[in-house]
Structure 1
Amino acid sequence: MNMSVSKCRQNFHVEVEAAINKQINLELHASYIYLSMATHFGRDDVALPGLEKFYFDSSHEERDHAEMFIKYQLSRGGRVVFANIERPTKEEWSTALEAMEYALNLEKEVNDSLLKLHQLGSNHSDPHVTDFLEGKFLDEQVESINKLSHFTTKLKRVGDGLGVYEFDKELQ
């Protein structure tokens, strides 16, 4: 197969291109984890439809982020390289709080990756990639971390049982 070079590629360092491919994989991995969480909370023996919906929505959002990075990569003349998506290491959650804390840590991991990508773009004098990240991802990521932090605090406060049921109703 003949590997042609993109005609639109300009000031797009191969390290930035590779980091975007890693970010695509991380976003898909996060989507996969949230999908797993949604199915856990949707089970009849767990029956928390608000959390099920929240995690399904979160899964869709992460997949949308992956698609945004794919389209960006193509617009810059980069090549999208798909890697295996790591399966979730955990598929059972003993409490809603445990799952929410896991989600919070996942969002922090995604944020760290975005910040490293932003720094890489700066190091390679690529204002386009830094602007893309600032305009589409960084603020939203901080908001997500804040939202999940509030959710974990609420879940700690309400405890198990009826409190989780009431919290779940808020998410529906």
Structure 2
Amino acid sequence: MNFTPFLVFLALVAGALADFSCTASGGGEFPKTVCYDDSCTNKIVSHIQEEFNAAFKYLYMASKLGQYTVARPGITKFLLESASEERSHAMQMLDYLDTRGISYPNEYNFAKSQVENFGIPGDKPLETGIENVLKKSIEMEIHVTNLIKGVIDSCSNDFHAADVFTNPILDEQHLGLRKLQGALQTLKAMKNAATEDEKKVAEYFFDLKLQKGELL
């Protein structure tokens, strides 16, 4: 019996399959659709630090506005909720890396300098007026949103990773930014309708609305 044609057929099949498979770092062959792109995963690993930075920045601002000398419980509540959302994004990314079997050897750094300065160009010490805090929060959200879009661009060859970052993470970024911008415009309208002496009262009532969940 002549096995030559059969062996040639097997060789052709193996060659074809090689084009559609990849070798995982831990060994084993997988279809390329479940393999990951190193440039994509490296971007995700580094971005997790940014999400934790944002979470700690929100906690830092919440601690400033929650102290009795400022006493703004409404915006403090919002900032704590925002910190929780940023932290949940980081956890989603870590869970995603675990799902794909990707190691993340980076030692994430939470230095005081990172908390006080988010890395935004021209960043200044926090001023505790609610309007300033909302503006700072908007800057932070735009900064993180742009970084997330960069991750999605890096994951253009890994559809699963790009999808994870697009929905729900990018969707939540856009919704959060829209709420912040709406709240800032509401506060400005309330202050513009008040006299100079009434502006602090307007800010107090705005904070009360935040506390009751009537705005954000």
Judge same fold: TM > 0.5, yes or no: yes
Task: Quote the residue 2:61 is aligned against.
Answer: 37
- With the length of structure 1 as denominator, give the TM-score of the two structures: 0.89
Task: Quote the residue 2:11 is aligned against.
Answer: none
> Out of 160, 177, 180, which is 1:148 matched to?
180
- With the length of structure 2 as denominator, give the TM-score of the two structures: 0.72
* Residues 2-54 of structure 1: CA deviation (Å, up to 9, x unaligned): xx944688421221111111211010000000001111111101000001111
Aligned CA RMSD, in angstroms, stands at 1.9
Q: Secondary structure at the match of 1:78?
A: coil
CA distance in 2, matches of 1:100, 1:6: 46
Task: Quote the residue 2:50 is aligned against.
Answer: 26
Task: Quote the residue 2:116 is aligned against.
Answer: 88
Of structures 1 and 2, the larger Rg is shown by: 2
Does residue 92 of structure 2 align to residue 68 of structure 1? yes
CA distance in 2, matches of 1:169, 1:29: 28
Using CA pairs below 8 Å that are at least 6 residues apart, which structure has the higher relative contact order? 1
Contact 2:70–2:128 (Cα < 8 Å) also in 1: no
CA apart distance, 1:91: 5.8
Task: Quote the residue 2:131 is aligned against.
Answer: 97
Unaligned runs of 5+ in 1: none
Deviates more, 1:13-22 or 1:55-64: 13-22
> Out of 116, 123, 142, which is 2:150 matched to?
116
> Out of 142, 148, 161, which is 2:200 matched to?
161
Unaligned runs of 5+ in 2: 1-23, 118-123, 192-198, 212-216
Q: Secondary structure at the match of 1:60?
A: helix
**Matched residues, number:** 167
Task: Quote the residue 2:159 is aligned against.
Answer: 127
